[in-house]
Amino acid sequence: MIAAVRGVLPEHRYAQEELTAGLAALVGLGPEHLAVLEQVHRNAGVDQRHLALPLEAYEEVTADFGRSNDAFIEAATDLATRAVQDALDAAGLRAEDVDLLVSTTITGLAVPSLDARLMARLPLREDLRRIPIVGLGCVGGAAGVGRVHEWLAGHPDGVAVLLAVEVCSLTLQRDDTSTANLVASGLFGDGAAAVVMLGDRAADRLAPDGIRVRGSRSRLYPGTERAMGWDVGSTGLRIVLGAEVPDLVRAQVRGDVDRFLTAYSMGRPDVGWWVAHPGGPKVLDALAEALEVPPEALGVTWRSLARIGNLSSASVLHVLADTLREAPPEPGSAGVLLAMGPGFCLETVLLSAPGEAG
């Protein structure tokens, strides 16, 4: 059961045009690349984004990997603290109530992990079970909901928190004028989200009107390792973003979603609401085509993309929070939360709104 979900953003907000100009100056793009950058950023479907640091700070911070990773740890820990506390407050719970904390991130490296660093910020118990997940990227939020649900099936009195935190801006590669890097520089933003989830008995006591998680399914597509991910080098994390991603979505998602729903004696027409990761305009167009739904079925996702950009693992959780706030599902209706990420892979989660269907 999902008792609460909350997303948080850094305070530094910039219009897309400001970020385009700032990046061009930072990288020192020549005229031959500037026009391409401007066009790519206009096509990203993003109006504004939030950054962990003031724009002028990136020239110094991104000078080397060590410096940018130190900034990641500081910013990510701050965002994580806010997200977890906000979600617990919304659920009417305390940090001391949490039995399991699962964290996912892909934009920096922290050892001790971010969840451990939260122990110094929040009064979490010393016997807290912690599971840090690194490497899932954009699929991490959806996969995290599925894995926490599975843990709670064996711990019906349990209280769990899923945390997704990403500081994508600090992965900027200043010497990379590849199309993938230019696309990423116009698409990704910074932010975090946290979900409070409860086992069945805990839900009966604490959140009987929460969103029910009915099940999840994972799918990895063989031979697609270079479709999405990072190349790790001396300057940090260099984006791998293949042009084949929208085609993979068109070719694979419909069949996978249909097989997933069939296990619950359902079909796509039975789904009342879709919570999709905002992978970018081409990916969302391909997803709507694959699911055979009108664009407005993914309207909350499109609006999230415009408002804050793609936050990697945290994005689909922001979309879930926006859906519950801006477009509350009909009582008893079924929803599907889904995201794609490095692998290339797909994660689908079946949800149910509280109440009886009309």
- The answer as to whether 247 is a domain residue is yes
Domain count for the chain: 2
Cβ neighbourhood burial of 263 (10 Å; 0-12, 13-18, 19+) = exposed
Instruction: Report pLDDT for 358.
Output: 53
Final residue belonging to a domain, choices 206, 232, 249? 206
128-131 LR contacts (CB < 8 Å, sep 24+):
128/98, 128/99, 128/100, 128/101, 129/99, 129/100, 129/101, 130/100, 130/101, 130/102, 130/103, 131/100, 131/101, 131/102, 131/103
**Contact in structure between 16 and 37 (CB atoms under 8 Å):** no
Q: Are residues 11 and 116 in the same domain?
A: yes
Instruction: Report pLDDT for 6.
Output: 98
Cα torsion 77, 6, 340, 241: sign = negative
Q: How far apart are the first and last CA of the chain?
A: 21
- The answer as to whether 358 is a domain residue is no
Q: Are residues 218 and 200 in the same domain?
A: no
Q: Are residues 48 and 194 in the same domain?
A: yes
Q: How far is it, in rounded angstroms, from Cα 313 to Cα 304?
A: 14
Q: Which pLDDT tens digits describe the chain residue by residue (358 residues)? A: 999 999 999 999 999 999 999 888 887 777 777 888 889 899 999 999 999 999 999 989 988 899 999 999 999 999 999 999 999 999 999 999 999 999 999 999 999 999 999 999 999 999 999 999 999 999 999 999 999 999 999 999 999 999 999 999 999 887 777 788 888 889 999 999 999 999 999 999 998 899 999 999 999 999 998 888 888 888 888 888 888 899 999 999 999 999 999 999 999 999 999 999 999 999 999 999 999 999 899 999 999 999 999 999 999 999 999 999 999 999 999 999 999 999 899 999 999 999 876 5
Q: Are residues 79 and 198 in the same domain?
A: yes
Q: How far is it, in rounded angstroms, from Cα 358 to Cα 356?
A: 6
> What pTM value is reported for the model?
0.96
Pairing mode, strands 334-341 and 271-276: parallel
Residue with tokens 């206009």: 42
Q: Are residues 195 and 223 in the same domain?
A: no
* Sequence-distant (≥ 6) Cβ neighbours of residue 336 within 8 angstroms: 257, 261, 271, 273, 274, 275, 348, 349, 350, 351
**Contact in structure between 87 and 5 (CB atoms under 8 Å):** yes
Q: Are residues 108 and 230 in the same domain?
A: no
Q: Are residues 197 and 307 in the same domain?
A: no
Tell me the CB-side half-sphere exposure of residue 161, using CA atoms within 13 A: 33
Q: How far is it, in rounded angstroms, from Cα 213 to Cα 275?
A: 13
Instruction: Report pLDDT for 32.
Output: 74
Q: Are residues 147 and 250 in the same domain?
A: no
Q: Are residues 46 and 163 in the same domain?
A: yes
- The answer as to whether 230 is a domain residue is yes
Final residue belonging to a domain, choices 206, 222, 237? 206
The catalytic residue positions are: 138
Q: Are residues 312 and 347 in the same domain?
A: yes
- The answer as to whether 197 is a domain residue is yes
Instruction: Report pLDDT for 357.
Output: 67
Range of the domain at 152: 2-206
Instruction: Report pLDDT for 102.
Output: 98
Final residue belonging to a domain, choices 171, 206, 241? 206
- The answer as to whether 336 is a domain residue is yes
Q: Are residues 202 and 217 in the same domain?
A: no
Q: Are residues 196 and 335 in the same domain?
A: no
- CATH number of residue 266's parent domain: 3.40.47.10
